[in-house]
Amino acid sequence: MAIQKILVINQPKVGKLIREIRKLTCLTQEQFAAKLGVTYPTVNRWENGRAKPSPLAIQKIENLLQEMGEQGQQLLTKYYAE
């Protein structure tokens, strides 16, 4: 299951994964935050490695990865395999 994979990715990689998802979906940090129901500073802290997403946010990120289809699966594999 993808959530378990995201949970075991270390902090810097989670931030990189989130940044890459956001850029591939052509969203600003503000837009990405709104889509996940969090604030802009929260997304900023995730991407800069100062915080890790909550389990609920991880679930929403997993949903985004699933919506991205093959591209989302490739991203998950890329960051999980490193």
CATH, residue 70: 1.10.260.40
pTM: 0.82
Convert the chain into a string of H (helix), E (strand) and C (coil).
Answer: CHHHHHHHCCHHHHHHHHHHHHHHCCCCHHHHHHHHCCCHHHHHHHHCCCCCCCHHHHHHHHHHHHHCCHHHHHHHHHHHHC
pLDDT digit string (tens) for the chain, length 82 residues: 455 555 556 767 889 999 999 999 999 999 999 999 999 999 999 999 999 898 899 889 989 999 999 999 898 888 776 5
**What dihedral angle (degrees, nearest 10) is formed by the CA atoms of 8, 10, 15, 48?**
150
Query: 55: domain range?
Result: 2-81
Domain count, the chain: 1
- CA pseudo-torsion sign 7, 19, 43, 33: negative
